Amino acid sequence: MDPVRLSVFINRINSICEQMGAVLRRAAFSPNIRDRLDFSCALFDARGELCAQAAHIPVHLGSMAHAMRDVVDVRDWAAGDILALNDPYLGGTHLPDVTVIMPVFEAGRLLGFVANRAHHSDIGSSSPGSLPLSRDLDDEGVIIPPTLIGRHGDLDQTVMATLTGRMNNPALVAGDFAAQVASVRAGVEQLRLLAADHQGAQWDQALAAINDYAERMARTTLSRIPSGRYCFTDYMDDDGFGAEDIPIRVCLKVERGDVTVDFDGTADQVAGNINCPLSVTAAAVLYVFRCLMPAEMPASAGAFRGVSIQAPVGSLVNARPPAAVAAGNVETSSRVVDTLIGALAQAIPDEMPAASQGSMNNLAMGSLSGRRWDYYETLGGGGGAHRAGPGLDGVHTHMTNTLNTPVEVVEMNWPLRVLRYAYRPDSGGRGRHRGGWGLAREYQFLDKAEVSIISERRRRGPWGLAGGREGQAGRNHLNGRALPGKASFSVVDGDRLLLETPGGGAWGDPGPA
């Protein structure tokens, strides 16, 4: 394709992902999808190779790119099939993230697939919010292997009733599933319209051109990283079950536009749920290298052909089933990013930021008796400073890209009152450029509830670069009493819960105090 036609095609196919996201947001029942925007949309070719994605959640999109080819081989597809899955060891991330996939056919020919992935705060766990402190995958909720939930474009109501009947709030879950299906249906329709302008072999050539173009741009970027071997080790605070200071080690071997990412030396998988399936680790790796590349480059499979990953089977970053993984998706993925940035800072120091908050500060709560409710959100914190300036204050960083849950939405939907939502002044590290400030968010309970917190960077703050100081570690408190980074507990009417998120690391020596 000539450059102009290729550019038009890339923008048209990207716009389909954006339209799918708009449909999903408007149709979703739960505030977690509707207000926090905890979802992602993507398009794949007939072999399951990523062709386009919207700028949604990095941990969703990278993991789908890594695993989709295996998913599309599980069945003989027919027009109108609707497939759902959430199994982390079969292309998922963690159980709350449910993927819905539809094939796209035209005149009997398979053109590709459309898919979305959305976070369900209720996936049938015995813990409200479906993010428990767990030891086993079965403890985390309902496992959905690749399951046909619809044919001929319509949901199979018998299958859906069986599936949602295992959840704590079936009506809400069914509504969000219906929204996901509406989203992929819209994607199928729009992709057919685009394919009508590229008949026969032209369609395959156009998709191949996207990936070839992305690969050329990516290898040009990777070739600017000096050849060599760069290693870095960072640590998870704990797994919630006694293991502490758990190392993640990475060595990058860079050679003329090819990068091998080797996690040898990383800790073995642990009892708690901070383990990662390989798809989540791959998502974190691909995210970091995508950030180095030009903004206009297609975020397709071709962009990652120069990056290979080696991770010991049975390690924290390539766990064996049935290891618990609920927090690996949200917390360990963040630390994988920090570790890769630390390694790359040795090779291209002027382009790398200091560590950001390094946690999604996961808060899940609700009640499974009486009035049943599930609430889940992640909290922003401090961004890492860099050569060009300070870190951002109170933002979601790296592997998450959601919004906060507005106070009005919290108080309208759940028996909660938000007493405080503010920056943590001076929580960023000191340096020539300071780290971003963390947040403080305090809740008052208006009824009894069960609560789970899964957070990181509570034992040590995010590190600085080029002489910059580390940011302040985060803190959790219940009624003024300090809580560990990972905790599960009951509350009653009037109790107050305060989460203070980490500040970002600074960049550059601060000079005399």
pLDDT of residue 59: 72
CB 273 within 8 A of CB 135: yes
Question: What is the DSSP track for 317-349?
Answer: TBPPTTB--TTIIIIIHHHHHHHHHHHHHHHSG
Q: How does residue 266 score in pLDDT terms, banded at 50, 70 and 90?
A: very high
Within its chain, how far is the Cα of 156 from the centroid? 29
At 29-54, the pLDDT tens digits run: 999 899 998 999 999 999 999 998 88
Q: Which of 74-78, 336-340, 405-409 has the highest mean pLDDT?
A: 336-340
504 vs 304: CA distance, rounded Å: 28
The 3-state secondary structure of 447-484 reads CCEEEEEECCCCCCCCCCECCCCCCCCCEEEECCEEEC
Q: How many CA atoms lie within 13 A of 479 on its CB side?
A: 8
Domain residue spans of the chain? 3-214, 353-513
Neighbours of 173 (CB within 10 A): 26
Q: How does residue 445 score in pLDDT terms, banded at 50, 70 and 90?
A: very high
Q: Could you tell me which residues come within 8 angstroms of residue 374 by beta carbon, excluding any fewer than 6 positions away?
A: 121, 122, 128, 129, 130, 168, 169, 364, 366
Q: Is the pLDDT of residue 138 over 70?
A: yes
47 three-class SS:
coil
pTM of the prediction?
0.94
Q: Which of 6-10, 194-198, 202-206, 332-336 has the highest mean pLDDT?
A: 332-336
At 77-110, the pLDDT tens digits run: 999 999 999 999 987 889 999 999 999 999 899 9
158 CB-contact burial (10 Å; exposed 0-12 / middle 13-18 / buried 19+): exposed
Residues 15, 21, 27: CA angle, nearest 5 degrees: 135
Q: How does residue 513 score in pLDDT terms, banded at 50, 70 and 90?
A: low
Q: Could you tell me which residues come within 8 angstroms of residue 435 by beta carbon, excluding any fewer than 6 positions away?
A: 354, 382, 383, 384, 385, 390, 391, 427, 428, 429, 462, 464, 468, 469, 470, 471, 503, 504, 505, 506
Q: How does residue 300 score in pLDDT terms, banded at 50, 70 and 90?
A: confident
469 vs 463: CA distance, rounded Å: 7
Residues in the chain, total: 513
Q: Could you tell me which residues come within 8 angstroms of residue 291 by beta carbon, excluding any fewer than 6 positions away?
A: none
